[in-house]
Chain A
Amino acid sequence: QSALTQPRSVSGSPGQSVTISCTGTSSDVGGYSYVSWYQQYPGKAPKLMIYDVNKRPSGVPDRFSGSKSGNTASLTISGLQAEDEADYYCCSYAGSSFVFGGGTKVTVL
């Protein structure tokens, strides 16, 4: 069971949109509609941002959206804000267990 593949880093200016990809296989991302995304600030616990591919928990800004195509899931942050600078991790169900991506650092220029 290998970690899902995410880009190490993405960046954008305030107001722009950035998209983080999360590539797995048909045994995880492609096989289930159970992809979650987490935001983590340094020294803090992760926070759920998206679950079940594209659902937002209460309180998460609608600037955050999720999608999936085949074995690749994506998190898009629209209207990037300074407070969005953090690490982001995807996580997928993999049939009796879960697997995380390696994480992506989002930098707001």
Chain B
Amino acid sequence: EVQLVQSGAEVKKPGESLKISCKGSGYTFTNFWIGWVRQMPGKGLEWMGIMSPSDSETRYSPSFQGQVSISADKSISTAYLQWSSLKASDSAIYYCVRGDHGDYWGQGTLVTVSS
């Protein structure tokens, strides 16, 4: 069974750094791109970026370029989304999603940034 299991909810202060994870199982991790999607409270889905775990090629939405970093450790079938300095406006649920079709989604990670 294909699964994407994300790390738990986070509460951070503005300016802090954060790295959340997404572990894939039930399939060959390097055969599918992994993407990240943001959903702010009560709002729609926003595509952030996507990465190929096999060669680390990464593409970002212009809205998120330079704001976040996507990476992966294929030895443990895990993708990451990272911030170096969080803002209150980064408070949202973040989903990882498999492939360019988005056929499997993680359960979401709630990130709360508040002073």
Interface string of B89-110 (1 = CB under 8 A from A): 0000001000011110111100
Contact-residue bracket for chain A: 20 to 34
The stretch from B10-18, B23-31, B55-63, B74-82 touching chain A is: B55-63
Are A100 and B45 CB-contacts (below 8 A) given A38-B102, A45-B95, A48-B102? yes
Interchain CB contact under 8 A, B101 and A98: no
Subset of 19 A-B contacts with CB under 8 Å: A36-B101, A45-B95, A45-B105, A45-B106, A46-B95, A47-B105, A48-B101, A48-B103, A57-B103, A89-B45, A91-B45, A91-B47, A97-B62, A98-B61, A99-B61, A100-B44, A100-B45, A100-B47, A101-B44
Within 8 A of B (CB), among A25-58: 34, 36, 38, 40, 45-48, 51-52, 57
